[in-house]
Chain A
Amino acid sequence: AQKVTQAQTEISVVEKEDVTLDCVYETRDTTYYLFWYKQPPSGELVFLIRRNSFDEQNEISGRYSWNFQKSTSSFNFTITASQVVDSAVYFCALIRNSGYALNFGKGTSLLVTP
């Protein structure tokens, strides 16, 4: 069975603070894929990043960075120098190699205040 846990339900930070959103997953598969999606207040789901289970390289994209550690089954997401526009619900998701469905975590609601 696949499971994704985002233990932080809500996080509130002040603009320019760094914030890390945690994602821990469970799977018995050796090949699987991890995703992060953003859902801003407007409601759409925006793809941020994907990672396959064999690629543990960290990734940086502007103010966003992702840390994938198979040893701890975690795929954490850090926003550096947060901005108000980062306020959204962030979802971590897992899909098995032969799968057709994303298994989502319950999401972390991030509020960035000025």
Chain B
Amino acid sequence: DTAVSQTPKYLVTQMGNDKSIKCEQNLGHDTMYWYKQDSKKFLKIMFSYNNKELIINETVPNRFSPKSPDKAHLNLHINSLELGDSAVYFCASSQTGSAYNEQFFGPGTRLTVL
């Protein structure tokens, strides 16, 4: 069974479009994250949600809006896509209680903006 799943795996779209990436975890975790990996492989936190509440919102353009309908899901909606948004987006989850808890990552969504 997949622990953290993301859909779609690949997303190719035109500049200016709006798109969403979905993330679901079946681990019973209550903390979820979005990380962005750029073309140089650098991984950086974008958002963190705990019990559906936004905990971290790094310096991310407000074109990016995370939505957590329940503890098992954290979706990422991106408005007015730009070329610079091309990257791999990883969803992750962990059990709250300790930062020592392992973060489990999804397979990633490769977004290409043309």
Report if A and B associate in a common complex. yes
- Once the chains are docked, how many angstroms separate the CA of A104 from the CA of B103? 13
Q: Which of B48-56, B65-73, B75-83 contacts A (4 or more CB under 8 A)?
A: B48-56
CB–CB B104/A33 < 8 A: no
CB-contacts of A38-82 with B (<8 A) = 39, 43-45, 47, 50, 52
Q: A100-B50, A101-B45 are in contact. Are A45 and B99 (CB under 8 A)?
A: no
Instruction: Decide if B56 touches A106 in the complex (CB within 8 Å).
Output: no
Q: Contacts A89-B41, A104-B42, A107-B42 given; indicate if A98 touches B99 (C-beta within 8 A).
A: yes
Interface residues of B in 14-34 (CB under 8 A from A): 31, 33
Least CB distance from B62 to A in Å reads 19
Q: Contacts A43-B88, A100-B48, A101-B48; is A91 near B43 (CB within 8 Å)?
A: yes
Per-residue B-contact encoding for A90-104, CB less than 8 Å = 1, 0 else: 010101111111111
